[in-house]
Amino acid sequence: MNARALCSTVLLLVMGAACGGKDGAAGPAGPTGPSGPTGPAGAQGPAGTAGAAGTNGTNGTNGAAGATGATGPAGPQGNANVRSTVVSNVTLNASSSTLISVPAITSDIVDNGAVLVYVRLVGFGGYWDALPVYSSAGGVLIRVGHITTGQVWLHTSSATANRDIRVVTIAGTPASALVSRYPGVDFGDPEAVQRALGVRF
């Protein structure tokens, strides 16, 4: 074969190879490659602007008023008409009546009220004796002679000194009315009188 024929043959073989059959199927995916190194952290961004302050909420409305409570029981009857006067360190004479000045005894008390008289030794606290009082040891009897406006007259069978005299006046309440109003109360007992009248004297 001459050189021209040989070149033609080679050319045809090359062109045949270039114009060959269909492409084959895709091969399987290759394995995942290793991760690359982590990049450096990014710089912190600037702070955001502060939000606007919120407004205060409105106050709620007041609730309705509660119902009125029941009326409590009535208190005990007052005794503003009761007064007590103490005359200290009195000397009582046997030869004559002893005058005790008590301005609280008004003419209305003399006519319509009540007067209670008590006695005790000076410095001997704890209790009072209602008149009349009799001492078996000393034989001394002290009693009320009579009562007038502003005055109480005391009588004694033997002279005695160092006596405190307490006079309790009750306006508009005769002694008989007191007994009726407070049955069973011993008006010779000052503490019983105080409890019954609801006062301290």
State which of 46-60, 125-139, 141-155 shows the largest mean pLDDT. 141-155
Q: Is the pLDDT of residue 4 over 70?
A: no
pLDDT of residue 89: 94
Residue 164 near residue 86 (C-beta atoms within 8 A): yes
Q: Which two tokens stand for residue 66?
A: 């509660």
Q: Is the pLDDT of residue 48 over 80?
A: no
Apex 96 CA angle, 133 and 171, nearest 5: 55
Q: What is the mean pLDDT of the chain?
A: 78
pLDDT of residue 96: 85
φ/ψ bin of 176: left (φ > 0), alpha (ψ from -120 to 50), beta (otherwise): alpha
CA distance 181 to 73: 21
For the beta sheet containing 82-92, the strands, ordered from the edge strand earlier in sequence to the opposite edge, are: 82-92, 160-170, 114-121, 129-130
The distance in angstroms from the start CA to the end CA of the chain is 166
Range with lowest mean pLDDT among 3-17, 41-55, 94-108, 153-167 = 3-17
Distance of CA 36 to the CA centre of its chain: 78
CA distance 92 to 115: 19
Contacts of 171 (CB under 8 A, 6+ apart): 81, 82, 106, 108, 109, 112, 113
CA distance 36 to 39: 9
Q: What is the CA radius of gyration of the chain?
A: 62
Range with lowest mean pLDDT among 11-20, 62-71, 126-135, 182-191 = 11-20
114 beta partners: 170
User: Percentage of residues in the chain with pLDDT exceeding 70?
Assistant: 73
Residue 169 near residue 175 (C-beta atoms within 8 A): no
Residue 142 near residue 131 (C-beta atoms within 8 A): yes
Range with lowest mean pLDDT among 31-40, 73-82, 114-123 = 73-82
Residue 82 near residue 131 (C-beta atoms within 8 A): no
